[in-house]
């Protein structure tokens, strides 16, 4: 039982850190400054639902897809861990991460009227880093049904927190301020860096063991 609780909090920590609900708040404020309260509420709800659908689809088909492409679990662990580590470094140094959105996407976001799908749902909430994280977790948990359920619960809680953050974005920024959000982002970056290194070790360990045993 304690093992399942630990696994749940591990999944929650990595998904929550990757999505970073508070990190979406300034983006929401910047993109919906001229919208009414009702329009902002609709955008927050639809963006969260769309992002949840994207995460669910990749959580289900991600593992079979990489199996079909003949990409080993170890290779994906290493690649995914390195990708997450780059995000963690950007969070620690307060740099915008290309894993979440590129400069071109930021420019396109400014000239689009409806920001629900892009850039809020994709890539701010369900970006490449989040998708990679979910696929990694599902790959590690498969075929343990209880662990898969823990991942689903962690993703649902993270999405619920993101929805609340989007709905109350103005009040959150007023309470925490830019500095408060920046400090929290750096703390989450440290957590994500440690988890990313563990993913790399999970991939390197079995690979080295296989190489040594085949000699």
pLDDT block averages, 10 residues each, the chain of length 215: 84 90 81 81 95 94 83 75 79 64 52 70 82 88 91 96 92 77 76 79 79 73
Cα gap 32→46, rounded to integer Å: 14
Q: What's residue 101's pLDDT? A: 52
Q: What's residue 47's pLDDT? A: 95
Beta strands in the chain (DSSP E): none
Q: How many domains does the chain have?
A: 1
Q: What's residue 170's pLDDT? A: 77
Domain that holds residue 38: 2-213
Q: Are 29 and 175 in contact (CB under 8 A)?
A: no
Q: What's residue 180's pLDDT? A: 79
CA 174 centroid distance within chain: 25
Q: Are 10 and 132 in contact (CB under 8 A)?
A: no
DSSP for 53-80, please give it. Answer: HHHHHHHHHHHHHHHHTT--HHHHHHHH
Token pair 């209880």 in the structure block, residue: 146
Cα gap 11→198, rounded to integer Å: 13
Q: What's residue 187's pLDDT? A: 80
CA 125 centroid distance within chain: 7
């Amino acid at each position: 039982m304690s093992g399942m609780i630990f696994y749940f909090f591990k999944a929650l920590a990595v998904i929550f850190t990757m999505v970073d609900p508070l990190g979406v708040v300034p983006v929401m404020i910047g993109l919906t400054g001229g919208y009414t309260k009702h329009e902002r509420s609709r955008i927050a709800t639809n963006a969260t639902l769309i992002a949840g659908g994207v995460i669910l689809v990749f959580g289900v088909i991600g593992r079979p897809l990489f199996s079909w492409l003949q990409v080993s679990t170890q290779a994906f662990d290493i690649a995914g861990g390195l990708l997450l580590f780059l995000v963690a470094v950007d969070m620690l140094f307060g740099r915008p991460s290309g894993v979440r959105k590129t400069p071109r996407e930021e420019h396109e976001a400014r000239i689009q009227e409806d920001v629900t799908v892009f850039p809020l749902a994709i890539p701010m909430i369900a970006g490449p880093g989040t998708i990679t994280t979910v696929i990694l977790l599902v790959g590690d948990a498969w075929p343990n049904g209880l662990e898969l359920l823990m991942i689903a619960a962690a993703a649902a809680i993270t999405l619920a927190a993101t929805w609340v953050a989007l709905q109350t974005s103005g009040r959150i920024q007023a309470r925490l301020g830019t500095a408060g959000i920046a400090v929290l982002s750096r703390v989450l970056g440290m957590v994500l860096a440690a988890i990313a290194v563990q993913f790399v070790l999970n991939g390197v360990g079995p690979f080295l063991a296989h190489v040594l045993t085949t000699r």
